[in-house]
Amino acid sequence: QRFANRLNTRYLILGLVIWWLAMLIAYSIFTLRVNHLKDELRQSGVKITHEFSSLVSLPLLEKNSLSISKLLTDAASRADVIYASVVDHRNKVVAFTGTGHLMPDMPEAARSVDKVSMWEGGFASHARILNFVSDITYAGTKIGEIFIGLSTPETFQTRKQFLFIA
């Protein structure tokens, strides 16, 4: 009887150790995949922000809000883009897309890559958004800023669910 109890305890402990190792390996693979997807999304956001920052500079200088609105509509029609907005050098909103998505609050701890600041945030209508902001310059002079928000895939948000299941 004692031998059977000890044997069952050993199998239980061995089973728990194997389960823990399997979950650790699965979580590591999952985290690597999510980080790879985040890097791709960041690169895409930086590229889109640079592209539209240069396209909007002349219309912003000319105060052509119709052209800016058209460009922002083109930006918002791209995959994963939630909102886009442009402010002038006086922080006055010139044009924006999306309902209720003017400008998110930029935290002090925003990361910068290639003169584009980025941070994760959100609006009530979307769980998580990767926000990008860049200066709009003309002939080296800052004339405004462009804000672009990309939606994060559901994969980014499942990390906590995975830990709960494990």
Helices 2-61, 65-76: inter-axial angle, 10-degree rounding: 160
According to DSSP, residue 91 is labeled S
59 vs 4: CA distance, rounded Å: 81
* 42-161 CATH, one of 3.40.50.2300, 3.30.420.610, 3.30.450.20, 3.60.20.30: 3.30.450.20
According to DSSP, residue 103 is labeled -
- The size of the chain, in residues, is 166
Q: Give pLDDT, residue 110.
A: 65
Q: Tell me: pLDDT of 54 over 60.
A: yes
Confidence of residue 22 (pLDDT cuts 50, 70, 90): very high
Q: Tell me: pLDDT of 45 over 80.
A: yes
pLDDT, average across residues 109-137: 77
pLDDT winner (highest mean) among 82-91, 124-133, 157-166 = 82-91
41 vs 36: CA distance, rounded Å: 9
Confidence of residue 142 (pLDDT cuts 50, 70, 90): very high
